[in-house]
Amino acid sequence: MLKLIKVINFINGEYLEPINKNYIDNYNPASGEVYSKIANSDKNDVDLAYISAKNALPEWSNKTIQERAEYLYKIADILESRIDEFAEAESYDQGKPISLAKSMDITRSIHNFRFFAGAILHHEETSSNFNKNFLNYTSRKPLGVVGLISPWNLPLYLLTWKIAPAIACGNTVICKPSEFTSMTAFMLGDVLIKANLPKGVCNIIMGTGSNVGNEIVSHPKIPAISFTGGTKTGQTIASITAPHFKKLSLELGGKNPNIIFNDANLDDCINTTIRSSFLNQGEICLCGSRIFVQENIYDEFLERFIKATENLIVGDPKNVDTNIGAIVSEQHLNKIKSYIDIAEKEKCEILYGGDKPNLNKQFEKGYFIKPTIIKSNNNKCRLMQEEIFGPVVTITKFKEENDVIEMANDIDYGLSATIWTENLSRAHRISELLDCGTVWVNNWMTRDLKVPFGGTKNSGIGREGGKHSIDFYTEIKNICIKY
Ligand code: NAD
């Protein structure tokens, strides 16, 4: 029998098997077959990683900003030289189309390192002499050994969104990728070796959330956690860290409105709405999964949107023409299907999709589902209130501006929103009224890494990006001097 690749830990600059020698199966979502083994690490591996990160901290935090930035640039360059290899691995491990893994995931991972190298080099502190006898100025220190936990939808993209600013600020880190998608985090270890990153600065531990994740979060000497994942997990982490006053950044779930007014540029809107509904199989926290369309253009929008959805190619992630690949896991596919199954009960109508696409035999056991459009008139129903996190959108007609604002805000989530209108006053007015962290007007998911990123309500606490990440990954101190 073929020996399966073992995805093992990266501690103190070396690849190490988990101390308990336990492994979990790793599946290829397109074939449904086990193709590698992931270390099922536990407390002992986290403790080892902590010692390594703690020992590396004094030297790393004392390096000049220029020196640390140079390492980040080097990591970016090496990653870039291996972009095809990483894109192939990400697509194979996660199920997403290879073209997307290359153009979005790995490209953005490279950019994360370059961006935060630049951000730290260009960062300036503040000073104030409000009273001529006194000078106030700020200084920053890294936090120490920081815990970084990431989800499965954008595996390397979101992990490096945390690693890059954390180490740029002089921290050392213990990372945990999702147990469903650990492959590119495992490969990153080799890039860090080639970049000569000092041993122990970045440690990567593979394993489950209840085991490794929980150990990192509850570790008494880890003062800060940056977590991206589900809202329920975020609640658990908040309850564990609160009594220790750990610094916490939580980027959680979303159920974002996409509001389309009568005066929208429908060509642009439909092209972008196809992406904001189904990109990455709809497994992006920012997807606009609740579509609201104003009544005068509802019929035209629907007809054109369904047509455009029919044209999407669902299937082999390795095919460069594929638009929608496989869902990450069988468990997640079942969750998506369970929502489609309740459509009738919720008096919603499936307008397109809802079933498995016809694919070659090799994908028979793969986790595929067609992009699905569901008509709903009830903003309170589960399909419109709960995060499905798959290629499933609801579509709802609205009459007046006030009605749609009320529906858009009447939800526990508050991550992002999209508005389509050519009316500038309306765009500004509604952007202010929507209760969420980001509003896109006539575009979607255009990311400038400087801007604050995060959510309100159950979508999380804190902001990351540019100076907001520097704020999170450092402790700021004010010093007041009397002349
Ligand atoms: P998840 O919460 O199940 O897992 C996320 C990570 O947390 C994984 O690494 C997991 O192993 C770990 N984990 C699980 N239980 C833990 C525990 N008790 N203690 C510590 N760590 C634990 O989320 P997921 O299913 O991997 O990801 C999907 C979710 O992530 C969706 O809700 C999506 O909206 C959200 N997400 C949010 C953003 C954002 O920026 N707001 C971005 C991407 C994904």
- Residue pLDDT, tens place only, 72-106: 999 999 999 999 999 999 999 999 999 999 999 99
Task: Give the pTM.
Answer: 0.97
Other residues' Cβ atoms within 10 Å of the Cβ of residue 437: 22
Distance 150 CA to ligand 1 centre (A): 6
Cβ(315) to ligand 1 under 6 A? no
Kindly give the number of the ligand 1 atom that is closest to the alpha carbon of 332.
Answer: 25
Rounded distance, CA 191 to CA 112, Å? 15
Return the SS3 of 458.
Answer: coil
Q: Which residues of 30-59 are buried (b: 16+ CB within 10 A; e: fewer)?
A: bbbeeebbbbbbbbebbebbbebbeebbee
Residue 114 has a pLDDT of 98
- What are the catalytic residues? 251, 285
Rounded distance, CA 479 to CA 275, Å? 49
- Cα→Cα distances 47→10, 18, 19, 158, 279, Å: 13, 12, 11, 24, 38
Strands 474-482 and 134-142: antiparallel
Cβ(94) to ligand 1 under 6 A? no
**Candidates 42, 178, 211, 388: which one to mutate for ligand 1, based on the most atoms within 8 Å of Cβ?**
178
Paired with 11 in beta bridges are 14
Rounded distance, CA 398 to CA 184, Å? 43
Distance 430 CA to ligand 1 centre (A): 30
Average pLDDT, the chain: 97
Distance 138 CA to ligand 1 centre (A): 34
Strands (E), 145-197: 145-149, 172-176
Distance 77 CA to ligand 1 centre (A): 29
Task: Give me the residues of the chain with pLDDT under 50, please.
Answer: none
Q: pLDDT digits over 31-80, tens only? A: 999 999 999 999 999 999 999 999 999 999 999 999 999 999 999 999 99
Residue 442 has a pLDDT of 98
Residue 50 has a pLDDT of 98
Cβ(176) to ligand 1 under 6 A? yes
Residue 2 has a pLDDT of 58
Domains of the chain, CATH where assigned: 5-252+459-482 (3.40.605.10), 257-448 (3.40.309.10)
Rounded distance, CA 12 to CA 56, Å? 8
Helix axes 155-168, 65-81, angle to 10 degrees: 160
Residue 393 has a pLDDT of 98
Cβ(236) to ligand 1 under 6 A? yes
